[in-house]
Amino acid sequence: MLHKLIAPASLAFAFLLSGLLQPLSAQTHNERVTIVGSFQPQLDDFYKINVEPGTEQAVFQHQEVKFTFLDKIQQTQTSLETIPPLAVVPNRSSEMFNNYFRFAFGSSLSPVVAFQHQSALSDKTRFGLGLRHFSSWSTITDYAPSDFMKNGLSLGIAHSLQDHTLEAGLTYQHDAMRYYGFKPADYGVSINKEDIAQRYQTIGFETNLKSNYQEISKLHHRVGLKYTFFNNKFQTSENELNLDAALRKDFELFSNAGSQALSLGTKLDFYGNKDSLNTASNGRFSLVPAFSLKGEFYRLRIGLRADMLFGDSSSTVLAPDISAGLYMLENALEVYVSVTGGAERNSFRQLAGENPFIAPIIPLGWEKTSLRFKAGAKAGFIKNLDLNAAVSYAKTNLPFFVTDSTAIYANRFTLVYDKTSVFSFTADAAYRLNEIMAFGGQLKLTQYKPENLTKAWHKPGFEFLGTIEVSPIDKLHISGSVQLTGTRYAPTYLAGVETVHELDPLVDMNAGAAYNISDQLSVFAELNNLFGANYQRFYHYPVQGLQLFGGLSYKF
C-alpha cells in the first residue's frame, strides 16, 4: 500500500484577506497558544482544485499579513481541527506598512499577483482594499484542456461610533475553469475549449453593527446583513440573503456562581435558486435562546436551537445547543463536551466551492443534523507544546459527489443525499522548539456509515498534515509540509449497474524558502508535489505534477 501513497501533487495561491466580521460572544477563556506557522504567504492548493468559487472576505483590520500551513487543508475533505496558528517570526522591524504586493510565476505558465492595502481614513475609520489573480495556461498530459483563471476584489470599511462599531464590505470574484476530467483520445474527438468551459461569478455585500460597551451590565447586541449573488455560464443563479442578530445580558441570578448571562440569537436566511429548468425559493428562521455560566475553572452554556424551514417543504428542526468545559491543573488542561444539531442549507455556491466540476443543475437541500456530540481535551503541560484530542459523533444527511451519468464525457458531478452516521477522532499537536524551529501535526480518522449508499463517495477515512518551519537566521525562512490522505471511492453507473472505483491514497509534499532582502522586500521559491504524481483529486480529475514557483513580495 505504501507505493500507492506516493502519489501527490499541488500548488496554488490563497491570498487571505484579513478582517473577518466577528460574532457577538461572551468573554473568552484565556488560552495558551503555541506558535506554529509561516509568516510568509504560501501558495496553496489550486492545482488540486483548479478553481474554487466563493466569496472573498472584506478587508477591515490593519494587521500583518499572515499565512500558515495549518490552513492548507484540501477543500473537499472534512476539515481538520486546528490549533490556532501563530508564526515563527524572526526578529524584524515593528514598522507597519499600509500596502502589500506579491508576485510569482510558476513552471506551468502560472502567474500569481496579489495586492492588499489598509489605511486609516480618520481616527475612527479604517479602509481596506484587496486584489488577487491566479491562473495557469498549461494542460495535463492526455487530458482535455485544463487551464483556469481566478480573480478577486474586496473592499471594506469600518467606523467606530461612541458605543458601536459599523463595518461594511463589498466583494467580487470571477473564476474560469474547464471540465477537463476525460481523455479526448478515448472518445476519438477534438475538443473545443469553450465547449467544456465553466465560469463562476460572485458578488457580495455585508454590513455588521455591534456594540462595544465597556460596562458588562449593558445589553450587548449585534445585527448583521449579508447578500450574495452567484451565477455561472449555464443560466444557473443563486440569491442568498442572511439577516442575523444577537442579544446578551449579564445577570446575577445565582450568588458566587461566576459570570452569568442570558442570550438570544436569531437568524433569517433566504435562498432563491434558478437554473435552466427550475426555480425555487427556500428559507430558514432560527432562534437560539441560551443561559451561560462562567467561572475560574469552568464554563457552561445551555441552549435550544429551533430551525423553522420554509419553501419547497416546511418543517421544524429542534436541537440542543449545549457546551461545557472544565479547566484543571492551573488551566494546563481543559476537558470539554458539546451537544448540538440543526439544519444547514447546501447552497450551489458552497457546493461549487467544494467541487467546481459539478453540473449546472444539481439537487439542493437541507442538511439536517439531529445530533452532533463532541468531547475532548486540550493540554499544555509542557512549555511550547499544545495538544488537542477529541471524538465526535453525528447523525445527519450528507450530500455526496457522484459522476453525472447524463454528461457525455462523464466529466461532471451531481449529488446524492443519504442519512449517515459519522464517527471521528481528531488530534492536533503544535510544538515550538525555540525561536528558530517549530512543528505542527494534525490527524483525523473518520468512519462514515451511510444508510443506503455503498460507500461514502469521495470521503477519506484517514487524513494527516505535518508541518515544519525553520528560521536558521533572521532573514531566511524555510518551510515544509506533508499531507496524507487515505483511499477514497467513487461510483459510475451504466444501465443501472453500479461500479465502484478506488482512488489511490496520496502523499502531498511541499517545500519552500523565503529570504528577506530588507524589511520591505523578500524573494521566495516553492516546490510542490515533490513526487510529481498526477493523483486524482476527484474521479477522473488528476492534478498537476511537479511545480516550481518563484517570486517576490514587497511592503510599502
Mean pLDDT, range 303-325, rounded to an integer: 95
Dihedral of CA 168/41/198/174: which sign?
positive
Which pLDDT band holds residue 82 (cuts at 50, 70, 90)? very low
pLDDT recorded at residue 29? 52
Mean pLDDT, range 363-375, rounded to an integer: 95
Which pTM value belongs to this model?
Answer: 0.83
Mean of per-residue pLDDT scores for the chain: 84
Q: What is the CATH number of the domain that holds 372?
A: 2.40.170.20
Dihedral of CA 15/20/26/30: which sign?
positive
Mean pLDDT, range 375-385, rounded to an integer: 91
Mean pLDDT, range 304-315, rounded to an integer: 94
For 186, the grid coordinates are 478515448
Q: Is the pLDDT of residue 24 over 50?
A: no
- Grouping H, G, I as helix, E, B as strand and the rest as coil, residue 195 is helix
CB 103 within 8 A of CB 113: yes
Q: Is the pLDDT of residue 47 over 80?
A: no
Instruction: Choose the weakest-confidence range: 70-79, 115-124, 158-167.
Output: 70-79
- The whole domain housing 58 covers 2-555
Q: Is the pLDDT of residue 195 over 50?
A: yes
Number of domains, the chain: 1
- Which class for 181: exposed (0-12), middle (13-18), buried (19 or more C-beta within 10 A)? buried
521 versus 68: the higher-pLDDT residue is 521
Q: CA torsion 88→94→95→101, rounded to 10°?
A: 0
Q: Is the pLDDT of residue 486 over 90?
A: yes
Q: Is the pLDDT of residue 425 over 50?
A: yes
